[in-house]
Amino acid sequence: MFTVQHLERTGSTNDEARRQALLGAPHGTVVHADEQTAGRGRRERAWFSPPGNLYISVLLRLPAAPARIPELSFVAAVAVADTVDRLLPKHLRATLKWPNDVLVDGGKIAGILLEAVDDAVIVGIGLNVLLAPHNMAYKTTTLVSAGGIASVDGARDILLERLGAWLTIWQADGFAPIRTAWLARGHAIGTPMRTGSGNHPVEGSFAGLDDDGALLLNTPEGQKRIVAGDVAVPPV
Ligand code: BTN
């Protein structure tokens, strides 16, 4: 299902995948780089990308309605969480923070950046295997520091197998099973959280995911649907 191109170094695997998508590269093309010199995160943030971690971008050409494309970030999140579980000691389990951050013991271990290119979608995934950035606004961790045993290429192979499996489920049965798998690893119902931008924070408690993956928050003004943004979850 996937054809991997392995590069020593590139600016951003998402940019390389985009370039290839515009040249007509087929569904299942995967760009893997050992190192990125201009790795990108969500909301125009830089993504820490030295050698030692996994950086891949998967090019998908799927016959899905454009409105369903954001669901793919949840598909990727459950695939990454499965991968992390396979590589960690049995007592640890990956959890998910809306929309698609993968955490272990409260520390971010992986991030997902979904981008559309014409009618293709690029799913960029960064997974901290050996190294994590310090001095971030949030806690970070790696597979190795959490007690896992993993090589970067081994993690990639498991991840592509899990991504393929979840994509098959999504295509056959829609978003419902993905939503269920996400919720099993997501915030407990009632978790206090804050979202929204600087001058317009929205505070409430987690009330679940809507049928399309939107975040549902119970607030003093009633239930709100959040379709984009970051959430902050106060430490318990
Ligand atoms: C996030 O902000 O949480 C998303 C991070 C996504 C990083 C990955 S690493 C591979 C791919 N190439 C990039 O430049 N970004 C994504």
Assess whether pLDDT exceeds 80 at residue 199: no
pLDDT, mean of residues 61-90: 94
* 203 vs 122, residue with greater confidence: 122
Nearest to 146 by CA among 183, 93, 100: 93
pLDDT of residue 198: 66
* 197 vs 91, residue with greater confidence: 91
Assess whether pLDDT exceeds 90 at residue 232: no
pLDDT of residue 44: 87
pLDDT tier at 6, thresholds 50, 70, 90: very high
Q: How far is CA 7 from the centre of its chain?
A: 21
Report whether 75 contacts 166 (CB < 8 A).
yes
Assess whether pLDDT exceeds 60 at residue 235: no
Ligand 1 site-directed mutation target among 40, 58, 60, most atoms within 8 Å of CB: 40
Residue 99 CB–ligand 1 contact under 6 Å: no
In whole angstroms, give the CA distance from residue 31 to residue 36.
11
Residue 42 CB–ligand 1 contact under 6 Å: yes
**DSSP, res 93:** -
pLDDT of residue 137: 85
How far is ligand 1, taken at its centre, from the CA of residue 221, in Å?
35
How far is ligand 1, taken at its centre, from the CA of residue 152, in Å?
16
In whole angstroms, give the CA distance from residue 180 to residue 185.
9
Edge-to-edge strands, sheet with 54-60? 3-10, 29-36, 54-60, 120-127, 107-117, 101-104, 95-97
Q: What percent of the chain has pLDDT over 90?
A: 82
Assess whether pLDDT exceeds 90 at residue 1: no
pLDDT of residue 236: 44
pLDDT, mean of residues 7-29: 98
Residue 111 CB–ligand 1 contact under 6 Å: yes
Residue 124 CB–ligand 1 contact under 6 Å: yes
101 Cα nearest atom in ligand 1: 3
Structure tokens at 75: 């598909």
* Strand, coil or helix: 176: helix
Please give the model's pTM, rounded to 2 decimal places.
0.95
pLDDT tens digits for 168-191?
999 999 999 999 999 999 989 999
* Strand, coil or helix: 170: helix
pLDDT tens digits for 120-169?
999 999 999 999 998 888 899 999 999 998 899 999 999 999 999 999 99
Assess whether pLDDT exceeds 50 at residue 62: yes
* 50 vs 63, residue with greater confidence: 50
Q: How far is CA 148 from the centre of its chain?
A: 19
φ/ψ (deg, to 5) at 176: -55, -50
pLDDT, mean of residues 33-40: 98
* 85 vs 149, residue with greater confidence: 85
Helices assigned H by DSSP within the chain? 13-22, 71-87, 152-173, 176-185
Spatial neighbors of 104 by CB under 8 A, at least 6 apart, are 84, 88, 92, 94, 95, 141, 146
